[in-house]
């Protein structure tokens, strides 16, 4: 499913516009005039083959308010990995119907092992298991908070047929202080392709993520707001 190392720009959307997560909730982003389609086109021009599109309203308000944005981005020459605290089967179906190539099951979904196992049986090749880690445990940030043991949960998720894992170091998101390489290595040992997010702010960070065994790195604010030269990063690391 995954071949070369992928640099995957993240496009977070709330109320149809670019946004970023703060302790108080989503806030607008000024880059690209707040236009997620413009941000997507710029990432594609830089060489991105995948985009990580997050519906923040689905994650925090239980409202899939940005399916049209997902559809518009999916119509571009790029593959879309859609996310947003996805837990229910109908949410998965809606994002696939909008054109997503992969859908990320949010960490909250892992609280219901039978339901997650059933979804993996149905769509496992197109699902990514989202694992948000804080202080060594799985702790979701969206509408349904969970607190789960990391290694035990990884064990049954892999046994259930997870094809790809997305590890997010929650305390590093938006901080640009570098990725949690030890955490990435720990998850890589589960034996599935791993995408890493949180703290990635430079080409050196991406190289380190690749060296830690990850199959890709999700880059957020550093690429969106220009401190990371996305074109140069993709050319050097992939």
pLDDT tens per residue, range 93-125? 999 999 999 999 999 999 999 999 999 999 999
CATH number of the domain encompassing residue 125: 3.20.20.70
* Prediction pTM value: 0.95
230: helix, coil or strand? Answer: helix
Is residue 191 one of the residues assigned to a domain? yes
Listed in sequence order, the DSSP H helices in the chain are 36-45, 56-61, 67-74, 89-97, 113-123, 150-159, 181-188, 203-211, 221-224, 230-237
SS3 content of the chain, % helix, strand, coil (to 5): 40, 25, 30
What is the average pLDDT across 188-198?
96
Is residue 208 one of the residues assigned to a domain? yes
* C-beta of residue 125 within 8 angstroms of C-beta of residue 103: no
Is residue 101 one of the residues assigned to a domain? yes
Number of domains composing the chain = 1
The reported pLDDT for the residue numbered 2 is 64
* C-beta of residue 145 within 8 angstroms of C-beta of residue 191: no
164-169 vs 147-149, strand pairing mode: unpaired
Would you say residue 26 has pLDDT above 90?
no
Is residue 144 one of the residues assigned to a domain? yes
Residue 164 CA to residue 105 CA, distance in Å, equals 11
The reported pLDDT for the residue numbered 151 is 95
Domain that holds residue 67: 6-237
Whole-number mean pLDDT of the chain?
93
Would you say residue 221 has pLDDT above 90?
no
Is residue 1 one of the residues assigned to a domain? no
């Amino acid at each position: 499913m995954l071949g070369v190392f992928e640099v995957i720009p993240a496009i977070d959307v709330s109320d149809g516009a670019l946004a970023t997560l703060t302790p108080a909730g989503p806030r607008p982003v000024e880059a690209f005039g707040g236009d997620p389609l413009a941000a997507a086109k710029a990432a594609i021009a830089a060489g991105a083959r995948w985009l990580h599109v997050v519906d923040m309203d689905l994650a925090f308000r239980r409202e899939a308010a940005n399916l049209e944005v997902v559809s518009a981005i999916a119509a571009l020459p790029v593959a879309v990995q859609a996310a947003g605290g996805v837990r229910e089967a109908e949410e998965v179906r809606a994002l696939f119907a909008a054109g997503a190539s992969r859908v990320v099951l949010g960490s909250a979904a892992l609280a219901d092992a039978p339901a997650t196992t059933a979804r993996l049986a149905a769509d496992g090749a197109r699902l990514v298991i989202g694992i948000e880690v804080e202080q060594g445990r799985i702790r979701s940030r969206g509408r349904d908070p969970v607190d789960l043991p990391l290694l035990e949960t990884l064990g049954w998720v892999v046994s259930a047929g997870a094809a790809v894992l997305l590890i997010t170091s929650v305390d590093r998101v938006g901080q640009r202080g570098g990725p949690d390489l030890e955490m990435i290595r720990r998850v890589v040992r589960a034996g599935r392709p791993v995408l890493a997010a949180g703290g990635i702010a430079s080409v050196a960070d991406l190289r380190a993520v690749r060296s830690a065994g990850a199959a890709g790195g999700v880059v957020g604010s550093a690429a969106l707001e220009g401190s990371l030269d996305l074109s140069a990063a993709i050319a050097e690391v992939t």
